[in-house]
Structures are given as structure tokens and as C-alpha cells.
């Protein structure tokens, strides 16, 4: 299936939210069994589980709307497993490789801070189902944000080695952060003017945490965009190859 | 409430949460409504149950649904519609007081405060369910399941789970 030609802003927005959650959840799940200590391995794996659960809620809602308009039977599984890279609307930051632990928690922090403010806006949305999913997700995201903020501070304010590593990670991921708050038409259609507040709140939160970590916001001149419109880095293809393999090789197979 | 609806609530009371078996799904507060339509054409009562999952990715949902189906079928309710209702979202406020008490007996500290408090986890005084001491330390915000945090008691030195206020 393809969702590339869909014009409905609500469906596109739901796909975008679901894709962000699924791709980041998939990336975080790569740490399962590889975390630095057991508690943190479990923590990040639980975060990944939350994200995949959130993705399912957004996909189920999107699938219902797509099925109603197209007359085809679309499910959450067809959305996750049977679309190609150009159909995915996740931010590029979610698909970047994990790198080391510091880079992973930094990515998680930057995205959780963005989701934290975005979902507070969605919670008040007049679409009941969207508001319900956001309310539930927001509680989970508060924990993700707290956990990842503490890690960024611990590494930035830690040893010379940990500080250097998080500095390097910041240089790598920062050019991908502008896309988070660079809102597209389908997002603005649903959230209205509030997008300006999300941007301000996000940058303020990032500033506060980075400052406490002894880090500075990089002065990047170039920003990467395009994920929200389906233009991705090469990394997404590798994720989909692994994630979709079973359904592609054995169509309609069931667990 | 009709007689068969009452009967169904009693059956549901006996179904436990697979992850925390001391809690019934009624204690958890996930069942929103039970409606029975006895006036069907074929004479088989039609049961409609609305439920709200606790967490976005709660892996116990499918298992709970299966158990509801099996238990009701065994009791003669063969036409069941289970509907998920996400609005309004489930919160730990919906957990019954009896349920919170059962959690503590089971060795899990029960959620403290209202879900909207959004207090900082480390500022909460969590009482050790084993020895009752309030000298406890947060080890990790995430524990054996996503809905729990891991604590350690400084008095009896035992680790324990805290059911997070959501």
C-alpha cells in the first residue's frame, strides 16, 4: 500500500505521529540486551515499548480513517509493514543511528522534549480520539523526558571523557533538530497557531537542560529537513528492510 | 443494571491482571461499561463491554481480552463484543482502594497522589511495602514493567516496585 497521495491533513498528521513513535521505538529497541547496566537497559527498552504502543494507537486511528475513505481494508499492520520509505513521515532525527549511549539518550531527550510540548497541545484538540491518545502518551513521555534529561546532565557534567562524547553527539544530531519544530501544512492545519509556543517551549527546555549539563546549543548553519514529507536519509531504508522483512517475504503471515 | 449484567460484573471480578495477578481487572478500573441486550432475534443475549487499556503498549491487553471471552463463553454468554475506548484515558486514579491495598500486600508500593499532580518522582516519599519504612531510594524510573519504578529500601535493604502514578 501507499499513503503518499493522501491529502487529508488529519490522516497525514496521524501517520507522522505514528511514524515518529515507531521509528524511534525501533531504534531504541536495538539497545535491548546491550545497555550499559541492567536497570538502564530495562529503562530504554520500556521507553521503546511505550513508543511502539503509541505508534499502534495512532496507526489504528489512521487505518480506520483510511479504510473509511478508500473502502480498502487497511490495518495498523499494513501501515507499519507494507509502506515504502517515501510513505513514512517521521522526522529524520528519529531514524539516525544510535551511535554510543550518549548519542542515543541525547536523541531521546531532544525528541521527548518536543513531544512533551506537542502532546500538551494535542491533549486539548477537539478530535476526541487524538486527544485521548495524546493524554495517555503524555504521561509516558513525562517519564521519558525526565529520564533522558538526567542522562544528558550526568554525561555533560560528568568526566572529561563523557563530556567529550556528548559534545560530539550534539554536533552530529543538532542539524536534524530544526525539523522537529519546522511545522508542515498538515501539522498546522490540526494544531493551529499553537505551533509557535511548541517551538519556544522546546528551545527553552533544551537550553535549560544543556546549560545544567555544561553544554551549549551549537551554532549550526545547515539544517536537514524532509522527513515529514517522506524524503529520508539512507538509514530509514535499512530500518524498514529489517522491520518489514517477514511481511514482505511471507505476505499475510500471522504470528 | 439487569440480572445478567450483574452476573457479568461478578465474572469480570474473577479475572486477574496477568502481570499483577492479585489485582482483578475491576480493581484496575479498566472496564468502563457492560451492556446486555436480551431481546435479540435468535434469543442469544448480546454483550457489549467497553474497556480502556492502562498503558499505550500494555502487553497484557490481548491476554485479558482472551480471558474475558473464555470466561463469558463458559458462563453461557456466547455473543460478545469487546470494544476499546481510549477516551477519556485511563489513569491510576481509577484503581480501586481495595486494589491499592492488595498491591501493597503483594509487595508493590501503590500509586501515590492524583495522576494530574505530575510531582517529581524522586521527591515522593514512597513507603517500603515490605517493612513500612519511608527511607527509600529511587533506583530507576522503569522497572520490571513500564508501569512501575524500581526502589530500594534503606532500612530493610530490599528492592521493590512502585506502581507509578499515571
CB contact under 8 A, B57 and A136: no
- Percentage of residues of chain B with pLDDT beyond 70: 95
Which pLDDT score is estimated for B122? Answer: 55
CA distance A62 to A69: 11
CA distance A76 to A231: 22
- State whether residue B108 is helix, strand or coil: strand
In the structure, what pLDDT confidence band is assigned to residue A73 with cuts at 50, 70 and 90?
A: very high
Q: Which of A3-17, B108-122, B125-139 has the lowest mean pLDDT?
A: B108-122
Q: Which residue of B has its CA nearest to A43?
A: B142
Which pLDDT score is estimated for B9? Answer: 96
Q: What is the mean pLDDT of residues A151-179?
A: 97
- Domain segments of chain B as ranges: 3-90, 108-163
Phi-psi region of A184 (alpha: psi -120 to 50; beta: other; left: phi over 0): beta
- State whether residue A43 is helix, strand or coil: helix
C-alpha cell read off for B79: 455473543
Domain residues for A243? 9-249
Which pLDDT score is estimated for B116? Answer: 56
CA distance A165 to A150: 16
Query: Is-cis flag, bond preceding B88, omega within 30?
Result: yes
ipTM of the modeled complex: 0.83
- DSSP summary character for residue B44: P
Instruction: Tell me how many domains chain A contains.
Output: 1
Please check whether residue B120 touches A, CB under 8 A: yes
A112 within some domain: yes
CB contact under 8 A, A39 and B139: yes
Closest approach of A10 to chain B, Cα-based (Å): 18
**In the block, which residue shows the cell 525501533?**
A26
pTM of the prediction? 0.92
Taking only Cα atoms into account, the Rg of chain A, rounded to an integer number of angstroms, comes to 18
- Percentage of residues of chain A with pLDDT beyond 90: 95
Residue B2 has pLDDT above 80, yes or no: yes
Which pLDDT score is estimated for A63? Answer: 98
Which pLDDT score is estimated for B119? Answer: 54
Residue A2 has pLDDT above 70, yes or no: yes
C-alpha cell read off for B113: 497522589
Query: Helix %, strand %, coil % for chain A, to 5?
Result: 70, 0, 30
> Which tens digit of pLDDT belongs to each residue from A131-159?
999 999 999 999 999 999 999 999 999 99
Which pLDDT score is estimated for B121? Answer: 55
A3 within some domain: no
A122 versus B138: the higher-pLDDT residue is: A122
Which pLDDT score is estimated for B117? Answer: 57
Which pLDDT score is estimated for A221? Answer: 80
Using a CB-CB cut-off of 8 Å, the residues of chain A touching B164 are 143
> Which tens digit of pLDDT belongs to each residue from A177-207?
999 999 999 999 999 999 999 999 999 999 9
CA distance B16 to B37: 26
Architecture of the domain delimited by B3-90: 2-Layer Sandwich (3.30)
> Which tens digit of pLDDT belongs to each residue from B113-128?
776 555 555 567 899 9
CA distance A62 to A55: 10
- State whether residue B159 is helix, strand or coil: strand
Which pLDDT score is estimated for B123? Answer: 66
Which pLDDT score is estimated for B58? Answer: 82
Give the domain CATH number at A183.
1.20.1260.10
In the structure, what pLDDT confidence band is assigned to residue B77 with cuts at 50, 70 and 90?
A: very high
Angle at B68 between CA B62 and CA B73, to 5 degrees: 130
CA distance B61 to B51: 10
A2 within some domain: no
In the structure, what pLDDT confidence band is assigned to residue A124 with cuts at 50, 70 and 90?
A: very high
Using a CB-CB cut-off of 8 Å, the residues of chain B touching A51 are 57
> Which tens digit of pLDDT belongs to each residue from A18-39?
999 999 999 999 999 999 999 9
Q: Which of A46-50, A69-73, B64-68 has the lowest mean pLDDT?
A: A69-73
Which pLDDT score is estimated for B55? Answer: 87
Which pLDDT score is estimated for B125? Answer: 83
Q: Are B4 and B45 in contact (CB under 8 A)?
A: yes
**B-contacting residues of A 111-170, CB under 8 Å?**
128-129, 131-133, 135-137, 139-140, 142-143, 146-147
Amino acid at each position: 500500500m501507499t499513503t503518499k497521495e493522501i491529502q487529508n491533513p488529519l490522516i497525514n498528521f496521524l501517520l507522522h505521529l505514528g511514524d515518529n513513535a515507531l521509528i524511534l521505538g525501533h531504534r531504541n529497541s536495538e539497545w535491548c540486551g546491550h545497555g550499559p547496566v541492567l536497570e538502564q537497559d530495562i529503562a530504554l527498552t520500556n521507553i521503546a515499548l511505550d513508543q511502539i504502543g503509541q505508534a499502534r494507537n495512532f496507526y489504528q486511528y489512521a487505518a480506520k480513517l483510511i479504510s473509511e475513505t478508500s473502502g480498502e481494508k487497511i490495518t495498523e499492520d499494513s501501515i507499519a509493514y507494507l509502506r515504502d520509505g517515501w510513505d513514512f513521515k517521521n522526522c529524520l532525527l528519529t531514524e539516525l543511528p544510535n551511535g554510543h549511549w550518549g548519542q542515543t539518550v541525547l536523541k531521546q531527550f531532544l525528541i521527548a522534549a518536543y513531544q512533551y510540548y506537542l502532546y500538551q497541545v494535542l491533549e486539548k484538540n477537539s478530535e476526541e480520539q487524538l486527544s485521548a491518545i495524546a493524554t495517555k502518551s503524555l504521561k509516558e513521555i513525562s517519564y521519558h523526558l525526565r529520564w533522558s534529561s538526567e542522562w544528558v546532565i550526568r554525561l555533560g557534567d560528568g568526566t572529561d571523557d563523557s563530556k567529550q562524547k556528548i559534545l560530539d553527539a550534539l554536533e552530529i544530531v543538532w542539524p536534524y533538530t530544526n525539523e522537529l519544530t519546522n511545522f508542515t501544512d498538515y501539522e498546522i492545519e490540526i494544531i493551529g497557531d499553537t505551533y509557535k509556543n511548541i517551538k519556544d517551549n522546546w528551545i527553552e527546555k533544551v537550553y535549560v537542560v544543556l546549560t545544567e549539563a555544561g553544554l551549549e546549543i551549537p551554532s549550526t548553519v545547515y539544517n536537514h529537513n524532509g522527513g515529514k514529507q517522506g524524503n529520508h536519509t539512507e538509514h530509514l531504508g535499512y530500518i524498514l528492510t529489517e522491520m518489514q522483512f517477514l511481511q514482505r517475504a511471507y505476505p499475510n503471515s500471522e504470528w | 443494571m439487569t440480572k445478567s449484567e450483574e452476573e457479568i460484573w461478578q465474572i469480570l471480578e474473577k479475572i486477574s491482571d496477568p502481570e499483577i495477578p492479585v489485582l482483578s481487572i475491576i480493581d484496575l478500573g479498566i472496564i468502563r461499561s457492560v451492556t446486555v441486550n436480551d431481546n435479540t432475534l435468535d434469543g442469544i443475549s448480546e454483550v457489549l463491554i467497553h474497556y480502556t487499556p492502562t498503558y499505550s503498549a500494555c502487553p497484557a491487553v490481548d491476554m485479558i481480552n482472551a480471558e474475558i471471552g473464555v470466561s463469558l463463553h463458559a458462563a453461557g454468554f456466547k455473543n460478545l463484543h469487546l470494544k476499546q475506548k481510549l477516551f477519556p484515558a485511563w489513569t491510576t486514579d481509577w484503581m480501586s482502594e481495595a486494589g491499592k491495598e492488595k498491591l501493597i500486600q503483594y509487595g508493590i508500593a501503590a500509586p501515590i497522589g492524583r495522576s494530574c499532580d505530575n510531582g517529581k518522582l524522586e521527591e515522593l516519599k514512597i513507603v517500603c511495602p515490605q517493612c513500612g519504612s519511608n527511607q527509600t531510594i529511587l533506583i530507576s524510573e522503569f522497572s520490571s514493567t513500564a508501569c512501575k519504578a524500581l526502589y530500594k529500601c534503606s532500612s530493610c535493604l530490599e528492592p521493590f516496585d512502585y506502581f507509578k502514578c499515571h
